Chains A and B, each alone.
Chain A
């Protein structure tokens, strides 16, 4: 064989670009945290310009408290989105129902009432999970319809009225003490520094992180969210996995609903209004794909923090409500753009 022939038969060189832009990779890996750090720096500058300290104890306290309720719900809602079922539209009435039943059962004592409230969320999650996981109902249509049903049940069941724990509680020391303990959970500061609500939110994120990253359920959920059929053929019980995702989400929402009710001292069907979209925004800001299979609990936490920090910065600037909405919208769109852009550049979307 001549040298000339060797040249002709040698394999072609792959000239396609395989280098990854480090900036894009950094953005993709760090995701929302890059934005969060940028917001922290911006906040420090703006606060200093206004003669204040961004990292002042009271300011950090304010940010954490403001996002505590959103965080509790988003930490659970992450599982629904991650499982490829977009979102849970029954979040608001899950929160409301948990609050109503907690207050309604306050005469049984605070711990029992609390458990009843949490169990309410678990039950709602089981129903949602069964219908969407097992029967493959459309997640949006079903959860929206279920939200409507729960709304009707509450309105009919309690005659369209609000419930107050101290009014529902009988005039006994035990019942009244239960009611006051219930109210206090959203007003307790540990060591006079950090609120119980913020601590509970952090604990729920830690729990959510462990479930997602350290259990076989978390691994299976990733497969189910990425490719449902492939996961099914791999022997994963997809129906059970989706159902568990909904149960976690609704239980976390119920905890958020109980704290929400305690904070406003009122159980009502309107509690939780808007939490479905705000919490989904936080989940998506954290880099979770609406189509499922990609995202992290840490990212969701970052999304929640970014939401709170941005609101805080806008208050420091002192701009009006309309402008605030516009700036919030622009920042959120920017984050979604960065997430989508880096995914595409890395060939993952």
Chain B
């Protein structure tokens, strides 16, 4: 009897001490979060952990199968590519927020593969986690799907407080996030858009809105062209989400607003400057004066190859726009060889993900999908985006 009384008293005492401690941790976490949002900056002097952009998904004009029948230049065709339009009624049972504060929480981040962008992203992720009192381990599968799957299993076994993943494949994402959510661990998807059905197992997605920024770029190009001319496209890697967004985003925007602008050709030579240079040189020879503008999926190697080909041909009348922004791209804008690039902050991408995770631990409501802010960069405003992040 005496022993039981002692145990009960110990339990009550522990609870009495823990509850205020948890409450203190939550208050401290919220304060730290507010400070981080206001003070952590990207290397190009923008807020790293700003609130993301959210919007209501417009209604699709048909089923995915019906929309596939539409012409490529019809924006309605790409609804299910553009919006993560998942069925919420099929959502898995997500772990509830502990609402005890982000301080002391441990996160595992699994990226896609080694690249200078990824290095920049990882550093920003670590910086943002530190700012809100979380610790992080980052795993890099070096672009190998099976290695990424292995890291997800390993991360689940380690039992962190949350797992954030940049999925290597949109289609493969469903099983990855299902495994995490089934293990009772909060799953966050970042940067790369997952397939719609994967969203049923994702607590929140954060990342860039490629379609939106490329549509803006397309609109700006159409205006610069005066509503007429011929445009050729160099794409991202065929099949990935940036391929669709950076090709059909501007193409459909131009078709909607400027029907007199025609598509001359679409090529996917990859990201090697020499290969892109040959494609653009061949276009200049083949299309001559009909070629008025080029849309690029990348403002570094693709933009360099394009600028070199245009310069070699002495065609300074060709307008080039690209998704960005890299150091090479910024220099080309300054030199007047690249008319415009979209701004997609690598560090804000990491910052928004960490922000969302921290808000979850702080017991706040988090949006299922939120996007980082974007902008269009030209010769007039490029200085405010320097030095480039990677």
Binding site for B on A (CB under 8 A): 50, 52, 56, 58-59, 61-63, 65-66, 68-69, 155, 159-162, 164, 167, 187, 189, 195, 260, 263-266, 268-270, 274, 308, 311-312, 315-316, 318, 320-322
Looking across the interface, which residue of chain B has its beta carbon closest to that of A274? B272
Q: Is the interface of B mostly helix, strand, loop or mixed?
A: helix
Q: Are B304 and A59 in contact (CB under 8 A)?
A: no
Q: Are A268 and B278 in contact (CB under 8 A)?
A: no
Q: Are B274 and A266 in contact (CB under 8 A)?
A: no
Report B286-322 residues with CB < 8 Å from chain A CB: 286, 300-301, 304, 308-309, 311-313
Among B274, B282, B304, contact of A265 (Cβ-Cβ < 8 Å): B304
A311 to B267, CA, bound (A): 12
Residue B13 interfacial (CB < 8 Å): no
A263 to B286, CA, bound (A): 24
A265 to B299, CA, bound (A): 13
User: Can you list, as one digit per residue, whether each of B246-286 has a CB less than 8 Å from chain A (1) or not (0)?
Assistant: 00000000000000000001111100111101110111111
Among B235, B283, B301, B390, contact of A315 (Cβ-Cβ < 8 Å): B283
User: Can you list, as one digit per residue, whether each of B112-134 has a CB less than 8 Å from chain A (1) or not (0)?
Assistant: 00111011000000000000000
Q: Are A315 and B274 in contact (CB under 8 A)?
A: no
Most buried by A among B116, B265, B282, B300: B282
Among A69, A187, A269, A308, contact of B308 (Cβ-Cβ < 8 Å): A187
Looking across the interface, which residue of chain B has its beta carbon closest to that of A65? B277
Looking across the interface, which residue of chain A has its beta carbon closest to that of B315? A58
Query: Would you list 7 pairs from A and B whose C-beta atoms are within 8 A, ordered by A residue?
Result: A61-B281, A62-B285, A65-B278, A66-B275, A160-B118, A316-B282, A321-B268
Q: Are A263 and B274 in contact (CB under 8 A)?
A: yes
Binding site for A on B (CB under 8 A): 114-116, 118-119, 235, 238, 265-269, 272-275, 277-279, 281-286, 300-301, 304, 308-309, 311-313, 327-328, 331, 390
Q: Are B265 and A161 in contact (CB under 8 A)?
A: no
Among A59, A263, A312, contact of B273 (Cβ-Cβ < 8 Å): A263
Q: Are B286 and A52 in contact (CB under 8 A)?
A: yes
Among A160, A260, A265, A321, contact of B238 (Cβ-Cβ < 8 Å): A321
Among B266, B309, B312, contact of A320 (Cβ-Cβ < 8 Å): B266
Among B268, B277, B313, B331, contact of A66 (Cβ-Cβ < 8 Å): B277
Q: Are B304 and A315 in contact (CB under 8 A)?
A: no
Residues of B contacting A62 in the complex (Cβ-Cβ under 8 angstroms): 277-278, 281-282, 285, 309
Q: Are B286 and A50 in contact (CB under 8 A)?
A: yes
Q: How far is the CB of B170 from chain A (nearest CB, A)?
A: 19
Q: How far is the CB of B287 from chain A (nearest CB, A)?
A: 9
Residues of B contacting A264 in the complex (Cβ-Cβ under 8 angstroms): 273, 300-301, 304, 328
Among B116, B272, B300, B309, contact of A161 (Cβ-Cβ < 8 Å): B116
Q: Are A66 and B115 in contact (CB under 8 A)?
A: no
Looking across the interface, which residue of chain B has its beta carbon closest to that of A50? B286
A63 to B119, CA, bound (A): 35
Residues of A contacting B301 in the complex (Cβ-Cβ under 8 angstroms): 264
Residues of B contacting A315 in the complex (Cβ-Cβ under 8 angstroms): 267, 278-279, 282-283, 286
Q: Are A66 and B312 in contact (CB under 8 A)?
A: no
Q: How far is the CB of B281 from chain A (nearest CB, A)?
A: 4
A160 to B121, CA, bound (A): 11
Residues of B contacting A308 in the complex (Cβ-Cβ under 8 angstroms): 278
Among A68, A160, A164, A260, contact of B119 (Cβ-Cβ < 8 Å): A160
Residues of A contacting B285 in the complex (Cβ-Cβ under 8 angstroms): 52, 56, 58-59, 62
Looking across the interface, which residue of chain A has its beta carbon closest to that of B267? A321
For the A-B complex with A65-B312, A189-B312, A263-B308 known, give 20 more contacts whose Cβ atoms are closer than 8 Å.
A52-B285, A58-B284, A58-B312, A59-B285, A62-B309, A63-B278, A65-B278, A65-B281, A160-B118, A187-B311, A260-B274, A263-B304, A264-B273, A264-B304, A264-B328, A265-B304, A265-B328, A315-B267, A315-B278, A321-B238
Q: How far is the CB of B346 from chain A (nearest CB, A)?
A: 13
Residues of B contacting A68 in the complex (Cβ-Cβ under 8 angstroms): 274
Looking across the interface, which residue of chain B has its beta carbon closest to that of A259? B274
Residues of A contacting B265 in the complex (Cβ-Cβ under 8 angstroms): 318
A63 to B274, CA, bound (A): 10
A164 to B278, CA, bound (A): 24
Q: Are A311 and B274 in contact (CB under 8 A)?
A: no
Q: How far is the CB of B244 from chain A (nearest CB, A)?
A: 14
Most buried by A among B267, B269, B274, B327: B274
A164 to B328, CA, bound (A): 9
Q: How far is the CB of A67 from chain B (nearest CB, A)?
A: 9
Residues of A contacting B272 in the complex (Cβ-Cβ under 8 angstroms): 274
Q: Are B328 and A318 in contact (CB under 8 A)?
A: no
Looking across the interface, which residue of chain B has its beta carbon closest to that of A260? B274
Looking across the interface, which residue of chain A has its beta carbon closest to that of B307? A187
Q: How far is the CB of A179 from chain B (nearest CB, A)?
A: 12
Q: Are B390 and A162 in contact (CB under 8 A)?
A: yes
